[in-house]
Amino acid sequence: MKYDIKPDHHIRAKRASLTGLTIGLLLLFQAVRVLWHFPENEGWRNALAGVSGLICLLMCSVSYWKYRKLTRQ
Protein backbone atom coordinates (compact mmCIF):
# COMPACT_ATOMS: atom_id res chain seq x y z
CA MET A 1 0.00 0.00 0.00
CA LYS A 2 1.37 3.39 -0.95
CA TYR A 3 0.79 6.52 1.08
CA ASP A 4 1.13 10.05 -0.17
CA ILE A 5 2.40 11.80 2.94
CA LYS A 6 3.48 15.39 2.49
CA PRO A 7 6.03 16.81 4.92
CA ASP A 8 4.83 19.59 7.18
CA HIS A 9 7.56 22.21 7.35
CA HIS A 10 5.61 24.49 9.69
CA ILE A 11 4.89 22.03 12.50
CA ARG A 12 6.91 23.96 15.11
CA ALA A 13 5.29 27.26 14.19
CA LYS A 14 1.83 25.67 14.35
CA ARG A 15 2.62 24.17 17.74
CA ALA A 16 3.87 27.52 19.04
CA SER A 17 0.73 29.28 17.79
CA LEU A 18 -1.54 26.73 19.44
CA THR A 19 0.44 26.97 22.68
CA GLY A 20 0.10 30.76 22.65
CA LEU A 21 -3.61 30.44 22.00
CA THR A 22 -4.07 27.98 24.87
CA ILE A 23 -2.10 30.08 27.36
CA GLY A 24 -3.92 33.22 26.26
CA LEU A 25 -7.30 31.59 26.76
CA LEU A 26 -6.33 30.36 30.23
CA LEU A 27 -5.13 33.82 31.26
CA LEU A 28 -8.27 35.39 29.80
CA PHE A 29 -10.35 32.96 31.87
CA GLN A 30 -8.48 34.07 35.00
CA ALA A 31 -9.12 37.74 34.19
CA VAL A 32 -12.84 37.02 33.76
CA ARG A 33 -12.86 35.22 37.12
CA VAL A 34 -11.41 38.34 38.78
CA LEU A 35 -13.88 40.63 37.03
CA TRP A 36 -16.78 38.35 38.01
CA HIS A 37 -16.49 39.77 41.56
CA PHE A 38 -16.19 43.35 40.30
CA PRO A 39 -17.92 45.22 43.19
CA GLU A 40 -16.01 43.33 45.88
CA ASN A 41 -12.52 43.99 44.47
CA GLU A 42 -10.31 47.04 44.86
CA GLY A 43 -10.13 49.45 41.94
CA TRP A 44 -6.55 48.60 40.99
CA ARG A 45 -7.37 44.88 40.83
CA ASN A 46 -10.30 45.50 38.47
CA ALA A 47 -8.18 47.78 36.27
CA LEU A 48 -5.37 45.23 36.17
CA ALA A 49 -7.78 42.42 35.28
CA GLY A 50 -9.37 44.53 32.53
CA VAL A 51 -6.06 45.49 30.95
CA SER A 52 -4.63 41.98 31.21
CA GLY A 53 -7.85 40.56 29.75
CA LEU A 54 -7.55 42.85 26.73
CA ILE A 55 -3.89 41.91 26.28
CA CYS A 56 -4.75 38.20 26.49
CA LEU A 57 -7.55 38.67 23.97
CA LEU A 58 -5.11 40.37 21.61
CA MET A 59 -2.56 37.57 22.11
CA CYS A 60 -5.23 34.94 21.41
CA SER A 61 -6.36 36.65 18.23
CA VAL A 62 -2.80 37.00 16.93
CA SER A 63 -2.03 33.36 17.73
CA TYR A 64 -5.22 32.19 16.02
CA TRP A 65 -4.51 34.38 12.98
CA LYS A 66 -0.96 32.96 12.69
CA TYR A 67 -2.24 29.39 13.02
CA ARG A 68 -4.91 29.91 10.34
CA LYS A 69 -2.31 31.48 8.06
CA LEU A 70 0.01 28.48 8.49
CA THR A 71 -2.73 25.90 7.93
CA ARG A 72 -3.80 27.49 4.66
CA GLN A 73 -0.35 27.14 3.11
| Structure-derived torsion over alpha carbons of residues 15, 13, 19, 60, reported in degrees to the nearest 10 | -130
pLDDT in tens, the chain (73 residues): 577 777 777 788 888 888 988 988 888 888 888 888 888 888 888 888 889 888 888 888 898 898 888 888 7
Provide the total of helices (H) and of strands (E) in the chain, helices listed first. 2, 0
Residue 44 has what pLDDT?
A: 85
Domain ranges of the chain: 11-71
